[in-house]
Amino acid sequence: MALIELRDVTKVYDTGDVQVRALAGVSLDVEAGESVAVMGASGSGKSTLMNLLGCLDRPTGGTYRLAGEDVGSLDRNRLAEIRNRTLGFVFQSFNLLARTSAVENVELPLLYSGVAPAERRRRARTALARVGLAERAHHHPSQLSGGQQQRVAIARALVVEPRIILADEPTGNLDSRTSADVMSLLQALGDSGITIVLVTHEPDIAAYAGRVLEMKDGLLRSDVRRPAARAAPAAARGEVPPSLASAPEDAPSLASAPEDAP
Amino acid sequence: MNPARVVAIAIRALLRNKLRSFLTTLGVVIGVAAVIAMTAIGAGASARVQATFEAMGSNMLVVLSGASQMGGARGGHGSQPTLTWSDLDAIRGLPAVRLAAPQLQRSAQVMGDGQNWNTMIQGTTPELFDIRNWRIARGRFFDEDEERAGSKVAVVGNTVVQNLFGPYEDAVGQVIRIGDVPFEVVGVAAAKGQTGFGQDQDDVVIIPSRTFRAKLQGGLQQFIAGAVVASARSAADAGRAQSQIEELLRQRHRIAPAGQDDFHVRNLSDIAASQQESARTMTSLLAGIALVSLVVGGIGIMNIMLVSVTERTREIGLRMAVGAKPRNILVQFLVEAVALSIAGGILGTAAGLGAASWLAARFGWPMLVQPQFVVAAVAFSAAVGVAFGMWPALQASRLDPIQALRYE
């Protein structure tokens, strides 16, 4: 059984006069450990798909099974629990709490899963170390660069040890160099067994994923699997500045992910 | 999340915006301070009324003789002497009456030490000092023997001493003359100050009633040329004493059941009670106004919490995305509102106590902070926090996470 199972999923937004059909019937299986990029123009339904996958919304029709559980039948509280335990979110605009230290931002999901304070702090520090920001634990977002902020956000997604990380345009607010750093980090997480689903409209970012879906008009247009996920950075390399050629190809240790330029 | 943690998070969130949080609580601070200060002032005023009436004499009743009627013109109470000395003896025998004394009055010119002064001469029996809570400053009161013998002795009030002998002279042992009759001053009464109505209670010379009748009063010797003052056995007996006296005098004066009384009994306890009642009413009124300002403070909190929910829409969306349930969001904002209002309650209590003690010192009132009002004010401010924080918190908890995350 696949980790994510969509069967003929539709999503219709009722805006009063007009009914907008954001998803027109999507069927999709994502196995545990896969890394998937969803591409498509704006309005293609990729954000809607992301919201459904992230259990932030429920499908209008069809079924969505996440780890065997039918999400369409769950109430808001159970959806919140699934988001808390199974999913990690990374957003384009980082969405860190201002005037709150990095380590406290990372702790946030654990606040809602009943983890004791000392354990919470320990796990948050571990997650920060995994993204290479152990030394910046007490910096506030305003004291961190964009890339560092996104890595804090990734640590926040990681801290609950999720099965899936959902990244919505994770590099949309970053320059190409820090984009590559963040993508390497996500890729390394994928290698460690976490399922990654990322939405992007940039082909070179999508190239980091082992499988690329393309959406148009609320439907899946293409579903391309690359036999070796390793090929992704190599494919990307042709399109990014040569300085990135030194990016670690096999990222042996996550903690060694390159530091952002300050 | 455990409650202590929730509170800690709320306080942290509020401290991120210190000035705004402080200004928001200000409404509640003023409201609570006003409740506490107003009730303390009311209690102080009430205690002062009580003290004033106690100085006049506790449980005191005044029996006045009837009104005169001369060719259609009616005098006031006391203008027609109707009370007799045997009435007084009968009143003294009533079960609810502890003591009774005559109070004969006329004003006269008093001379002493080369000065003269017009004052009120009172003829009475020694019971009066007890009935009216009169204390002696120097010397002594006159006694029963002197009353029976009609001795020419006097107890003088402080104002008279000041005017005849000056502030430094000891009047005891001196001789004063009322008209051309010499009296020996045996005592100086302790200063009682003014009545609640501004009458100087120390501008008086008190002499035995028998002496008064013999030397100062002409004619109608069987009638009491003045009033009878009596004290009931207790404050609770004042009403009973009043009705017993009324019944007794109606019998003695042979007044038909439907007839007009030729006397009048005033119950000072009633006046004291009604004065206190009005002080209490005033206190409730002031406290009510203060409570309204607390509610206004609550509306201020609601306003700021709504602003805060709007400002933090993305934060709410994020918290929901990472696993906060609607209930978690509701509690977070509700606790913030209640923390604001309780902080206001505590600051307001401090300010209210400060204001109350300042006012008490300024007006010379006793500082009477009523603990039940302090507790009620703080509890009410917490309730204001819940009541006015609920709506913004519900708004926050009902946000759609997708919309909230997209909110700019």
ipTM of this model? 0.85
Cβ B104 vs Cβ B224: under 8 Å: yes
**pLDDT at residue A242 tops 60:** no
Question: How far, in Å, CA of A135 to CA of A148, rounded?
Answer: 11
**DSSP-assigned letter for residue B262:** S
CB atoms within 10 A of CB B274: 11
Our CA-based measurement puts residue B376 at a distance from the nearest CA of chain A, in whole angstroms, of 34
Give residue-wise pLDDT tens across range A71-99.
988 999 999 999 999 999 999 999 999 88
Among all residues of chain A, which has the CA nearest to that of B400? A56
Question: Å from A146 to nearest chain B CA?
Answer: 18
Altogether, the residues listed in chain B come to a count of 408
Residue A247 pLDDT: 40
Judge whether A78 is closer than 8 Å to chain B, CB to CB. no
CB-CB contact of A251 with A188 (8 Å): yes
| Confidence at A250, pLDDT banded by 50, 70, 90 | very low
- Higher pLDDT among residues B52 and A233, named by residue: B52
A140 close to B (CB below 8 A): no
- What amino acid is encoded at B336 in this protein? E
C-alpha span between A115 and A122 (Å, rounded): 11
User: Distance (Å) from the C-alpha of residue A227 to the closest C-alpha of chain B?
Assistant: 33
**CB neighbours (10 Å) of residue B172?**
18
Question: Nearest to residue B322, comparing CAs of A49, A150, A158?
Answer: A158
Distance from the Cα of A96 to chain B's closest Cα (Å) equals 8
Is residue A257 over pLDDT 70? Answer: no
pTM score above 0.80: no
pLDDT of residue A64: 95
Task: Say how far apart CA A156 and CA A21 lie, in whole Å.
Answer: 33
CB B102 within 8 A of CB B224: yes
Contact at 8 Å (CB) between B147 and B125?
yes
Extract the residue ranges of chain B whose pLDDT is less than 70.
Answer: 1, 54-58, 67-80, 195-198, 219-220
Contact with chain B for residue A13, Cβ under 8 A: no
- Beta-ladder partners of A39: A214
**Interface with A, mutate which of B322, B325, B330, B406 (most A CBs under 10 A):** B322
Question: A39-43, A139-143, B7-11, B270-274: which has the highest mean pLDDT?
Answer: A139-143
Q: Which residues on B lie below 8 Å from A115 (Cβ)?
A: none
- The token pair at A35 is 């890394």
Q: Cα(A102)–Cα(A10) distance, rounded to whole angstroms?
A: 38
Contact present, A198 and A217 (Cβ < 8 Å) = no
**How do residues A145-190 score in pLDDT, each as one tens digit?**
999 999 999 999 999 999 999 999 999 889 989 999 999 999 999 9
Would you state the pLDDT for residue A141?
Answer: 94
Q: Between B1, B321, B327, which is nearest A83 by CB?
A: B321
Is B207 in contact with B122 (CB distance < 8 Å)? yes
Conformational region of residue A43, where left means phi above 0, alpha means psi within -120 to 50, and beta covers everything else: left
How many Cβ atoms are within 10 Å of A114's Cβ, its own excluded? Answer: 10
* Confidence at residue A62, expressed as pLDDT on a 0 to 100 scale: 93
Q: What is the DSSP letter of B191?
A: P
Give A25's pLDDT tier (boundaries 50, 70, 90): very high
Q: What is the pLDDT of residue A244?
A: 39
- Predicted pLDDT at B378: 85
